[in-house]
């Protein structure tokens, strides 16, 4: 029986464009993982890794026109959005090259022997080493920044881990093109091309998470798919870390003082954020608590105007479109749910943006309205109208984990409810915003892109410098002769690494 073909599909029409690959068999997955495992020692040289990451960024930019064209044909995200995503992807690669150069990620600690302590201390030297082969599962909504050349891949390679990427079926041609660029970058910098390999197919993804030579995995996608892989990773004879980003409602609380002060500004900002990229950002504000009364009414009036002026959009594939249309229809049919701007099918291949409203009191206890507290992927948000701060707290207490949570408050600390509400939002998410919108994630050292389950399956971040920590494990050498120590831990610090010696930075 021949392997199933992998087709590139135009989401604007639903028509196949071209066959770009075939789904990998179990034997082919085994070969891909084995090839990656065999070259892991080639990544031991930090200078070579940094050069590889910088060269990959350079070659991606050189191929930018072709990459953007391919990605737009497969995702309908548009050249402007994809050009920006390509720039972000290249910046991520260069940022991790700087992390590798600096070496602080190795987290070197040296505690010299001290017999005066009770109990006495032996000589202890600790640093971090790469886990091994990392499986990366590409995202549908970011064909570059969270896919083959994206943050999971960049951070794993920076850590010294070879990567096997499972391509997303929504952009296989883009995946093949980006994989070829990264493999070319490896060859240009003297590394084996198999530091990155690519496989296609659902079954291949399952085989990959089960492979005994895979040491960790990174995933961005649905709760259902991510949870299945997470469970498979835990069920292995030797379980492995699974860093999954699964789903997020990204709640927003608008205080009464904020609505009174700038209802129009908040309504327009919300409309722009929830419809950005046809609502397909993992940080889309999908649930918003707005006060009852005239100020809240004005906010909704501006939101209505903003969303009504947004044209129909194409989702990443027709399966997502069908799920969106069904999801908003079922939610809109619930008692006391209104649709000032009705979301749904905008045409045969498109969807129209909209929002739903519901009294917050409907969400303070378990019931059929709990569907409104689940992510609906696409250009829709839920507005819950509250009567008191206590009602806000009751609703927030029922929310699952999120990537982000946002507080819209009055200016100049003039809001009596701000501190209490910020404290209530903080346990819900990994990134807390005040008077901003969550769409758009800065690639910065202090960034955290993660959150309590189901936002992610671990406490780590997939964006920012500390994303590298997911692919490392600490090891301590005790009472080890100098000649046997790795260079990172030797007394004379031949690599010039930042470290802590006897509790002090050295």
- Is residue 426, in this structure, part of any structural domain at all? yes
Asked whether residue 390 falls in the same domain as residue 305, the answer is yes
SS (HEC) of 22-34: ECCCHHHHHHHHH
Flag whether 451 is in a domain: no
The whole-angstrom distance between residue 111's C-alpha and the CA centroid of its chain comes to: 37
Looking at the structure, tell me whether residues 213 and 354 fall in a common domain: no
Residue 98 has pLDDT above 80, yes or no: yes
Split at pLDDT 50, 70, 90, the class of 3 is: confident
Residue 358 lies in a domain: yes
Do 258 and 183 have their domain in common? Answer: no
Total tally of structural domains belonging to the chain:
2
Q: In CATH, what number is assigned to the domain containing residue 292?
A: 3.40.309.10
Q: Which of 433, 462, 465, 434 is nearest to 449 (CA)?
A: 462
Q: Is the pLDDT of residue 2 over 70?
A: no
What is the distance between the alpha carbons of residues 411 and 425, in angstroms, rounded to a whole number? 19
- Is residue 479 domain-resident? no
Report pLDDT for 182.
98
User: Would the pTM of this model clear 0.75, i.e. be above it?
Assistant: yes
Within a domain: residue 276? Answer: yes
Are residues 294 and 271 part of one domain? Answer: yes
User: Are 413 and 357 found together in one domain?
Assistant: yes
Give the model's pLDDT for residue 71. 98
Please give the average per-residue pLDDT across 390-398, as a whole number: 97
Both 155 and 284 in one domain: the answer is no
Shared-domain flag, residues 24 and 168: yes
- Full residue range of the structural domain in which residue 65 is found: 17-246+458-472
Q: What's the rounded mean pLDDT across residues 118-147?
A: 97
Alpha-carbon distance of 274 to 355, in angstroms, equals: 9
Rounded CA-CA distance 145/154 in Å is 10
Q: How confident is the model at residue 1 (pLDDT cuts 50, 70, 90)?
A: very low
pLDDT band at 102 (very low <50, low <70, confident <90, very high): very high
The closest alpha carbon to 174, from 80, 67, 297, 81, belongs to: 67
Residue 126 has pLDDT above 90, yes or no: yes
The answer to which of 117-131, 149-163, 225-239, 399-413 has the lowest mean pLDDT is: 399-413
Answer whether residue 3 is part of any domain: no
For residue 191, is it within any domain?
Answer: yes
- Mean pLDDT value of segment 416-438: 96
26 has a pLDDT exceeding 50: yes
Convert the pLDDT of each residue in 333-366 to its tens digit: 999 999 999 999 988 899 999 999 999 999 999 9
Is 208 in the same domain as 326?
no
Q: What is the pLDDT of residues 495-505, one digit of tens each?
A: 999 999 999 99
Number of H helices and number of E strands within the chain?
Answer: 13, 21
Q: Is residue 478 one of the residues assigned to a domain?
A: no
Q: Do residues 306 and 347 both lie within one domain?
A: yes
Per-residue pLDDT at 434 exceeds 70? yes
Which active-site residues does the annotation give?
245, 282
Q: For 225-283, how does the pLDDT look when each residue is reduced to its tens digit (9 = 90+)?
A: 999 999 999 999 999 999 999 999 999 999 999 999 999 999 999 999 999 999 999 99
**Model confidence at 414, in pLDDT bands (50, 70, 90)?**
confident
Q: Are residues 185 and 276 in the same domain?
A: no
**Residue 162 shares a structural domain with residue 234:** yes
State the CATH number of the domain containing residue 464: 3.40.605.10
Question: Three-class SS string for 382-431?
Answer: EEEEECCHHHHHHHHCCCCCEEEEEEECCCCCCCCCHHHHHHHHHHHEEE
């Amino acid at each position: 029986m021949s392997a199933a073909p992998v087709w590139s599909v135009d989401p604007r029409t639903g028509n196949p464009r071209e066959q770009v690959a075939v789904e990998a068999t179990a034997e082919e997955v085994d070969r891909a993982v084995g090839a990656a495992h065999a070259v892991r020692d080639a990544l031991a040289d930090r200078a070579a890794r940094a050069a590889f990451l910088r060269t990959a960024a350079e070659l991606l930019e050189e191929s930018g026109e072709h990459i953007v064209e391919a990605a737009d044909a497969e995702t309908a995200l548009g050249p402007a959005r994809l050009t920006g995503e390509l720039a972000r992807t290249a910046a991520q690669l260069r940022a991790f090259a700087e992390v590798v150069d600096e070496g602080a990620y190795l987290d070197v600690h040296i505690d010299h022997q001290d017999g005066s302590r009770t109990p006495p201390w032996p000589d202890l030297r600790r640093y971090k080493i790469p886990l091994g082969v990392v499986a990366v599962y590409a995202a549908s909504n970011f064909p570059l920044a969270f896919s083959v050349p994206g943050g999971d891949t960049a951070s794993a390679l920076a850590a010294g881990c070879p990567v096997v990427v499972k391509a997303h079926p929504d952009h296989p041609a883009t995946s093949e093109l980006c994989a070829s660029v990264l493999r070319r970058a490896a060859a240009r910098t003297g590394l084996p091309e198999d530091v990155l390999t690519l496989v296609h197919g659902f079954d291949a993804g399952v085989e990959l998470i089960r492979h005994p030579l895979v040491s960790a995995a990174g995933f961005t996608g649905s709760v259902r798919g991510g949870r299945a892989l997470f469970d498979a990773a835990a069920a292995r004879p030797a379980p492995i870390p699974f860093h999954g980003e699964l789903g997020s409602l990204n709640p927003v609380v608008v205080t009464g003082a904020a609505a009174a002060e700038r209802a129009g500004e908040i309504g327009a900002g919300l409309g722009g954020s929830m419809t950005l990229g046809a609502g397909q950002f993992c940080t889309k504000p999908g649930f918003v608590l707005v006060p009852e009364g005239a100020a809240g009414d004005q906010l909704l009036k501006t939101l209505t105007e903003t969303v009504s002026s947004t044209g129909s959009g194409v989702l990443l594939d027709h399966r997502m479109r069908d799920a969106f249309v069904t999801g908003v229809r079922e939610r809109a049919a619930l008692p006391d749910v209104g649709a000032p701007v009705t979301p749904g099918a905008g045409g045969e291949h498109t969807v129209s943006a909209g929002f739903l409203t519901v009294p917050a009191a409907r969400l303070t206890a378990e019931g059929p309205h709990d569907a409104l507290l689940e992510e609906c992927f696409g250009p829709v948000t839920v507005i819950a109208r509250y009567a008191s701060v206590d009602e806000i707290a009751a609703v927030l207490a029922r929310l699952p984990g999120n990537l982000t949570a946002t507080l819209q408050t009055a200016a100049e600390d003039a809001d009596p409810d701000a501190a209490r509400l910020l404290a209530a939002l903080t346990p819900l998410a990994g990134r807390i915003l005040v008077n901003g919108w969550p769409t758009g994630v800065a690639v910065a050292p202090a960034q955290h892109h993660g959150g309590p389950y189901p936002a992610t399956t671990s406490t780590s971040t997939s964006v920012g410098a500390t994303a590298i920590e997911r692919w490392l494990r600490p090891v301590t050498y005790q009472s080890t002769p100098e000649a046997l120590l790795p260079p990172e831990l030797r007394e004379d610090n031949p690599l010039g690494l930042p470290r802590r010696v006897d509790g002090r930075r050295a």
